[in-house]
Amino acid sequence: MRLAVFSAKAHDRRFLDAAISRAGHQLLYLESHLDRQTACLARGQAAVSLCVTDRADAAVLTLLAEGGTRLVTLRSAGYNHVDLAAARRLGLTVTHVPDYSPHAVAEHTIALLLAVVRRIPHAYTRVREGNYCVEGLLGFNLHGKTVGLIGAGKIGLITGRILRGFGCHVLAYDPHPTDAAREAGFEFAPFNQVLESADIISLHCPLVPTTHHLLNRTTLGWLKRGAVLINTSRGGLIDQNALVEALESGRLSALGMDVYEDEVMATQHDHAAHRHPDDPISRLIALPNVLVTGHQGFFTAEALADIAASTFTAMTDFGAGRACAHTLTSPENSPNTPPPHAPHGSSPAFPLTTNHHQPNETAANPPTRSPTSPAN
């Protein structure tokens, strides 16, 4: 089968070549993102592979279908960049990768946490300049601290287990607490109680309309003074302007963050030439107690190998006329039935519709899983 890989980077080529090309499939690597101008590049390719920055709206999918494409394989768990209803109408099969390495994201969460708590970025810069002074680098022990997890699914569970190993007390809010988390020693509590009690908050719930700006001016105000916040889940969970205020006022003592509100524009690209100092992200990065990475939580060899293997399986099954695993366009995943399970922070709707989280809503009704949440 012929596969056009959009937004192909060197690492995609490395892992996809290893998993796929030896099986006789032909891969066409395209550096361009998929959009209405570039869809024609896939003419004659039975399958396309997309990442989160490719935009497969109805017009783009129509162009792909007209060019002979039948299979759309996503290299992500999230699918809010694909119009699934249009794909169904056009008879396209869309597959995704729901479960690639939750350990990768959990471990990156811990890396950010330790780095900000022990001020590693500052220490690194100082020592490179020959300055070995420890003044200003005072940290605190994780041992004995209370960590509040918002979301205790696959990634939250692994993160909490690692933190239990540090001797932390893990307090979690999740509308669907699991026995596995309880057995790991997590204590579940209402959303506001978790925010009020934790020394460290780590976000691991999906971004859906009801969790948009879950942390806003009001809810950030519930945090303990000097709390540390880590976000490896989705940027839209936090109101970035309120976040800057919380850091500047000392409500938050530090922030580690891997994800941004504008994922397509902000991440995994070199924006050095056109960064504006007033952008919320630039204001955040300029703060001394903030460590930002470019959505690399998933970026381990193991996760990329999983994604490539999953792409290969989808192509092989589709080519052989078998049902593909993790198909988003099968009848049971039609808009009238709940989506399969939590993808990489995506919404089932296209495009993502946001519902600005009202502070009072949060106070009165801790956020619950949306009926349309992909976590369902």
Binding site for ligand NAI (CB under 6 A): 77, 102, 105, 150-156, 173-176, 204-207, 211, 232-234, 258-259, 295, 297-298, 342, 344-345, 367, 369, 375
* Contacts (Cβ under 8 Å, ≥6 apart) of 270: none
**Least CB distance to ligand NAI at residue 45 (A):** 27
Closest-CA residue to 8 (of 302, 311, 233): 311
In this complex, which beta carbon is closest to ligand NAI, that of residue 155 or of residue 223? Answer: 155
Question: Closest approach of Cβ 82 to ligand NAI, in Å?
Answer: 16
Clarify whether 126 is annotated catalytic.
no
In the complex, minimum distance from the CB of residue 162 to ligand NAI, in angstroms, rounded to a whole number: 14
Catalytic residue among 88, 234, 283, 357: 234
Catalytic-residue membership of 295: yes
Write down the catalytic residue from 295, 326, 344, 357.
Answer: 295
Task: For tokens 């190993």, name the residue.
Answer: 165
Identify which of residues 88 and 204 has a Cβ nearer to ligand NAI in the complex. 204
- Nearest residue to the partner ligand NAI, using Cβ: 153
Which CB atom, from 191 or from 312, has the smaller least distance to ligand NAI? 191
Is 326 annotated as catalytic?
Answer: no
- For the packed helices 102-117 and 301-319, what is the interaxial angle rounded to 10 degrees? 160
Single-letter amino acid, residue 336: N
Which entry of 75, 204, 263, 344 is annotated as an active-site residue?
A: 263
- With respect to ligand NAI, which residue has the nearer C-beta, 6 or 186? 186
Q: Which is nearer to ligand NAI, 283 or 369 (CB)?
A: 369
Catalogue the active-site residues.
234, 263, 295
